[in-house]
Amino acid sequence: AKQDNIDMDTPWKDLPEDVRETIFRGGEGFYGVDDFFNELEGKRYKLHVRVFLSRYRKASACPDCGGKRLSPEALAYRISGRDIAELTNMNIGKLEGFFHDIDLPLMARDTVAEVLKQIEIKLRFLNRVGLDYLSLDREGKTLSGGEYQRVNLSNQLASGLVGTLCVLDEPTVGLHMRDTDRITGIMGELASVGNTVVVVEHDLDVIGSSDWVVELGPGGGHLGGNVIFSGKMKEFLASDTVTARSLVDPQPASVLTGKTRKPRMSPGSKNPSNKITLTGATGHNLKCIKAEVPLGALSVVTGVSGSGKSTLIVDTLFPALKKELRIATPEEPLPFKALTGYETLKNVKLIDQSPIGKSPRSNPVTYLKVFDAIRKLFAEEYASKAHGYTTGFFSFNVPGGRCETCKGEGYQKMEMYFFEDLYITCEDCGGTRYGHKALSVLHKGKRIDEVLAMTVDEALSHFGQVSQIRKKLGLMGDVGLGYLRLGQPATTLSGGEAQRLKLCAELGSGKQTDTLYLLDEPTVGLHSTDISVLMKVIDRLVDAGNTVLIIEHNPD
pLDDT tens digits for range 160-187: 888 999 998 888 877 777 778 888 888 9
pLDDT at 462: 94
Percentage of the chain beyond pLDDT 70 is 94
pLDDT category, 272, cuts 50, 70, 90? low
Please tell me which residue, 140 or 397, carries the higher pLDDT value. Answer: 397
| 95 & 206 share domain | yes
Region 328-346 average pLDDT: 90
Residue 385 scores a pLDDT above 60: yes
Domain assignment of residue 34, yes or no: yes
Contact (CB, 8 A) for 316 and 290: no
| 457 & 504 share domain | no
pTM, rounded to two decimals: 0.73
Please tell me which residue, 506 or 451, carries the higher pLDDT value. Answer: 451
Residue 458 to residue 488: CA distance in whole angstroms: 14
| 402 & 445 share domain | yes
* Burial label, 5 (beta-carbon count in 10 A; 0-12, 13-18, 19+): exposed
pLDDT at 257: 40
| 442 & 538 share domain | no
Domain around 105: 90-210
Domain assignment of residue 480, yes or no: no
pLDDT at 37: 87
Domain assignment of residue 474, yes or no: no
pLDDT category, 354, cuts 50, 70, 90? confident
| 387 & 445 share domain | yes
Contact (CB, 8 A) for 515 and 349: yes
Domain assignment of residue 471, yes or no: no
Please tell me which residue, 453 or 139, carries the higher pLDDT value. Answer: 453
Domain assignment of residue 219, yes or no: no
| 153 & 181 share domain | yes
Region 155-160 average pLDDT: 84
Domain assignment of residue 488, yes or no: no
pLDDT at 383: 96
Out of 140-144, 213-217, 306-310, which region has the weakest mean confidence (pLDDT)? 140-144
Residue 530 to residue 534: CA distance in whole angstroms: 6
DSSP element (H, E) containing 300: strand 298-301
Region 448-454 average pLDDT: 97
pLDDT category, 82, cuts 50, 70, 90? very high
pLDDT tens per residue across span 497-512: 898 899 999 888 876 7
| 432 & 453 share domain | yes
| 47 & 118 share domain | no
pLDDT at 328: 80
Distances (CA, A) of 313 to 104, 143, 450, 549: 43, 17, 43, 9
pLDDT tens per residue across span 286-323: 999 999 999 999 999 988 777 888 899 999 999 999 99
| 376 & 441 share domain | yes
Question: What is the count of structural domains for the chain?
Answer: 4
pLDDT at 145: 66
| 162 & 99 share domain | yes
Contact (CB, 8 A) for 301 and 324: no
pLDDT at 265: 53
CATH number at residue 405: 1.20.1580.10
Residue 260 scores a pLDDT above 60: no
Domain assignment of residue 158, yes or no: yes
pLDDT tens per residue across span 38-50: 888 888 888 788 8
Task: Supply the mean pLDDT for the chain.
Answer: 87
Q: Which three-class secondary structure state does DSSP give residue 302?
A: coil
DSSP output for 435-488 = -HHHHT--BTTB-HHHHHTSBHHHHHHHTTT-HHHHHHHHHHHHTT-TTSBTT-
CATH number at residue 283: 3.40.50.300
Percentage of the chain beyond pLDDT 90 is 47
Residue 493 scores a pLDDT above 60: yes
Residue 361 to residue 340: CA distance in whole angstroms: 42
| 150 & 193 share domain | yes
Region 456-476 average pLDDT: 92
Domain assignment of residue 94, yes or no: yes
| 322 & 269 share domain | yes
